[in-house]
Structure 1
Amino acid sequence: MVDAATLLAAYDAQLRSDAETPGALAVEPLGPVRIATFAEGRGFVSYRSLDDDGAPADADRVRALVAAVAQHLRDDAAITEAEWKTRAHDDAPGLYEALVQHGFEAEEPESIMIGDAHLLAVDVPLPDGVTLRRITAEADVRAMAAMCDEVFGEPRSDRHAEDLLRRQAHDPSMEMWVAEAGGEIVSAGRLEPVPGTEFAGIWGGATRPEWRGRGIYRALTAARARSALALGKRYLQSDSTEFSRPILERSGLVKVSETTPYVWRRERSAP
């Protein structure tokens, strides 16, 4: 079994690059960071390290960098909301304080989970009447998005479905899987192979409350793991909530760090 340090090193080397921003309309470098712009005014800030041209990150450099990014966001009218993706293992003195100072708000931290796909590609029995399948049809994608929005307490809208359909058109390798019972979607999740890497991401896991604890999410994860292996991927990666983290740990994934999104929104940003 691969140790956590090796998994984290592979994550930093392979995933903290253009692999993080497939489908971006534009990506602009600003010092050591990359600012990506997506459809519907969404921005994304990431980096492999905050060191700049060999100069190690210190609190003054970090504050100046955050100020420059915040100014960039304010100046770019196309961006209405942006996420700065922080990782707990980074050397970034003063980062969190600087982000808050410049109008970013922390959301709930998530566990960065990584593991060998073989560990998850196992047979998991399903409850009677429950079946799994990969979906591609627009009606199925819209039904899946509506179920996920409901489970996560999001207001009813077409935004999630439109985003998935747009991403599917851009990247047909993205797979959407659902579990159904009685013609109703009861659980769902995506597999997103990362080109040029050993990784595939497992994202968007959601199960209706009345169907939880019956192995359905594990079965969906196993199906995605088998598909990842068939595509030649070695590792699965997920940013997991405290609900899904224990399930993935039982399957053999390892928590290698934490990530906390800091979100900037134009309507509430400080001048």
Structure 2
Amino acid sequence: MTLSEELLMAYDRQLRTDAETPSAIGIERLGPLRLVTFAGGRGFVTYQDLAGASARTISHWVAEALAFYRSDPAIARVEWKTRGHDHAPGLHGALLDNGFEPDETESIMIGPAHSLNVQVQLPPGVSLRRVSAERDIRAMSAMQDEVFGVDASDGNADAILRRVAREDGMELWVAEHEGAIVSAGRLEPVPDTDFAGIWGGATRAEWRGQGIYRALTAARARAALALGKTLIHSDSTEYSRPILERYGLRRVSTTTPYRWRR
């Protein structure tokens, strides 16, 4: 078994469980599917595998899962998280037939946390810190919304604040210049596993290519190591993937979210 195969096996066994959705407010089962509900009217469908199901069975599951969320008027949007290495006959077509639309495919990156623990020279006037105050979190969320090209939403910041209130181990890190947040990301240690996730990495366009994202990633890796986590995982865009590859993370598979909106 290659190292990439070992890492992918650890990912499937340790992360594709309830550990994947620590902030869920409700979870229902449909065959191997986990139908997750989050605060703010968001549904999320995930699973460890599809248990060798046929295209016909998978089609029924997609329709039944969507009917479950449609029955709750509070649910405004649903994400169905697919992985490129799953055996899932007919899933793409079934999702499209039920009104889901595929989003950008990202790389599943995994590697040792210590490989990301490097020293990076920051641009003059840029500093890093961990944040927890509401004012900082709302500023961080607004910057991420802008970078990701979505409408700025108090709902996104509210969801992060609810996570912070749960004290589930999530850490929020930012890079600042003259009091303005120019880059941000979060660290999510996964309880009872070897993993911590690095998520939400966003850097303003005018600050890219200057080592800030690398420095922010290194800070989060050091925090993960301090918590006893040995592996880092992330779903990475084509912008961040090469950076993580240079520091030893491997692309073990892909993930494509399919989105439905009421």
Q: TM bucket by the smaller chain?
A: over 0.9
1:127 corresponds to: 123
1:3 corresponds to: 3
| Superposed displacement of residue 77, structure 1 | 2.4
Cα distance in 2 for partners of 1:89, 1:249 equals 20
Cα distance in 2 for partners of 1:101, 1:238 equals 29
Contact 2:188-2:196 at 8 Å conserved across structures: yes
- Aligned residue identity for 2:172: M
Aligned partner (choices 59, 79, 86) of residue 83 of structure 1: 79
Asked if 1:179 corresponds to 2:175, the answer is yes
1:103 corresponds to: 99
Cα distance in 2 for partners of 1:102, 1:146 equals 32
Asked if 1:25 corresponds to 2:25, the answer is yes
In the TM superposition, 1:49-198 aligns within 5 A as 49-51=49-51, 56-198=52-194
Asked if 1:15 corresponds to 2:15, the answer is yes
TM norm structure 1: 0.93
- Aligned residue identity for 1:124: V
Contact 2:40-2:159 at 8 Å conserved across structures: no
Contact 2:120-2:214 at 8 Å conserved across structures: yes
1:45 corresponds to: 45
Cα distance in 2 for partners of 1:182, 1:251 equals 29
Question: Runs of 5+ in structure 1 lacking a partner?
Answer: 267-271
Cα distance in 2 for partners of 1:97, 1:198 equals 35
Aligned partner (choices 222, 238, 244) of residue 242 of structure 1: 238
Count of aligned residue pairs for this structure pair: 261
- Aligned residue identity for 1:262: Y
| Superposed displacement of residue 78, structure 1 | 2.8
TM norm structure 2: 0.97
Deviations 1:36-83 (Å, cap 9, x if unpaired)?
1111110010101111xxxx2111111121122122122222322111
Cα distance in 2 for partners of 1:180, 1:61 equals 50
Cα distance in 2 for partners of 1:45, 1:237 equals 20
| Superposed displacement of residue 154, structure 1 | 2.1
The Cα RMSD (Å) is 1.1
Q: Percent identity over the alignment?
A: 64
Question: Runs of 5+ in structure 2 lacking a partner?
Answer: none
Instruction: Tell me which moved more, 155-164 or 90-99.
Output: 155-164
Instruction: Tell me which moved more, 238-247 or 153-162.
Output: 153-162
Distance 1:182 1:209, change over 3 A: same
Cα distance in 1 for partners of 2:217, 2:185 equals 8
Asked if 1:207 corresponds to 2:203, the answer is yes
Distance 1:156 1:71, change over 3 A: closer
